[in-house]
Structure 1
């Protein structure tokens, strides 16, 4: 990690603890944070379409860092065919492409920190690690249907329904999957939301509906694999990784 990037975490903390963010109407908050919500995927010049959407992310820090879910990053990138990791900003059909690289990954909490070129973009502010409680109003903005119709972010709102362990107990050990067993060794609490999310929403910022500060990272795959494996018909429940793990990821990146 380059030396100038080491100051990024300090800048994130500065945006967190500086001037008080006044409460605002949700439409005003959406207008403010929309430029910070980006698509995450890959670009391959000879592929049609050349851009492939994998998930959503959001900009933080100095405007050159993006947070998303680790599972949206492809396991293999075809370097021989000039495929590259990329972030897409803008709105509508004219998306701007930002080459990206992985700065730090946290597979245990399904988070990844990316650094982009051709920035900076407008960053979002992170909430304190313990700022949210059950029952508080939240919203999340992302791309549930990808870039099929262009970059048009969609916002859902709801509340924090529960703060719950990532893995549900099983009455029979035979019903446990390998992924559940692995995650039982690294149990942590996640936010259960009453808003419905889709696979393209993975990595979307979940933010306080009054301040716009990020309280979590939406996760529509990683948590469900543990929480809803035993359900015959998975529910429309959505989950978010608490922002405290984003803070931890930034601290680890600073040490790197």
Structure 2
């Protein structure tokens, strides 16, 4: 057989055999990631239900740090009735609530750093800014419908459609309003647009490499849509994520 024919056959075998391997990578990665994904909510013993879900979060660092979206953290807790902020963990069909404390917030990037009590949980590794590129395959795991269907984390595939600035100028002066002007005055930063649909409960979900589980971004719906898609009432198939660089910066605020 001619050499070029052998090389062509080898390439075909590599492509055919390589695809299932990549799919298997995601199956294994999901199992490794899920124990690090938690619900964010509040607990009040006299309330029904006692636990109210507000967002998704994920564990980093020493296993007691949790990252989520800042907008999901209640501005005020009902302290008179002993309402407590914390994380919700699904453990063999049972729901466990761990109290948590907010140790740092980053309103500009809509991120919050919580510290939980109790035993450390499995932590996810954080990537770097040079680890992502447009077209790259990604996945995110979280609770798209909160606890409506039980505390069962769901995973969605995605690809990085584009890296773009968070703020886009209005096409005409007629589209400017006080909210738009105030947002335009804030510092712009790159965000990741994903070709996948995320839901409100996904806010705070880790966006990670399907093969390694390394986190590259955090799903964010509220902050970004208010800036980039205010003219679109029901966008479909598009989600946004905050680059993990800002998670690293937030964690450094609590470093000794």
TM range (shorter): 0.7 to 0.9
Structure-2 residue corresponding to 1:227: 228
Structure-2 residue corresponding to 1:20: none
The number of residues matched between the two structures is: 233
Structure-1 residue corresponding to 2:70: 70
In structure 2, C-alpha distance between the alignment counterparts of 1:177 and 1:90, rounded to whole Å:
43
Q: Tell me by how many angstroms 1:179 deviates.
A: 3.7
In structure 2, C-alpha distance between the alignment counterparts of 1:177 and 1:237, rounded to whole Å:
24
Spell out the pairing of 1:32-51 with structure 2 (5 A cutoff): 32-51=32-51
* Preserved contact between residue 197 and residue 238 of structure 1 (Cα < 8 Å): yes
Structure-2 residue corresponding to 1:9: none
Q: Return closer, same or farther for 1:177/1:83 CA change in 2, 3 Å cut-off.
A: farther
* Preserved contact between residue 91 and residue 150 of structure 1 (Cα < 8 Å): no
Q: Which moved more, 1:111-120 or 1:198-207?
A: 111-120
In structure 1, C-alpha distance between the alignment counterparts of 2:90 and 2:79, rounded to whole Å:
26
* Preserved contact between residue 65 and residue 113 of structure 1 (Cα < 8 Å): yes
Q: Tell me by how many angstroms 1:222 deviates.
A: 1.2
Q: Deviations over 1:55-114 (max 9, x none)?
A: 000000110000000000011111001001010112564111100000100000000000
In structure 2, C-alpha distance between the alignment counterparts of 1:111 and 1:137, rounded to whole Å:
24
In structure 2, C-alpha distance between the alignment counterparts of 1:190 and 1:49, rounded to whole Å:
36
In structure 1, C-alpha distance between the alignment counterparts of 2:56 and 2:62, rounded to whole Å:
19
* Preserved contact between residue 43 and residue 51 of structure 1 (Cα < 8 Å): yes
Spell out the pairing of 1:178-197 with structure 2 (5 A cutoff): 178-184=178-184, 185-197=186-198
Unaligned runs of 5+ in 1: 1-22
In structure 1, C-alpha distance between the alignment counterparts of 2:202 and 2:84, rounded to whole Å:
21
Instruction: Give the alignment's Cα RMSD to 1 decimal.
Output: 1.5
TM-score normalised over the length of structure 1: 0.87
* Preserved contact between residue 98 and residue 119 of structure 1 (Cα < 8 Å): no
Structure-2 residue corresponding to 1:7: none
Q: Tell me by how many angstroms 1:54 deviates.
A: 0.2
Q: Which moved more, 1:176-185 or 1:134-143?
A: 176-185
Q: Tell me by how many angstroms 1:176 deviates.
A: 2.8
Structure-2 residue corresponding to 1:205: 206
Spell out the pairing of 1:28-177 with structure 2 (5 A cutoff): 28-91=28-91, 93-177=93-177
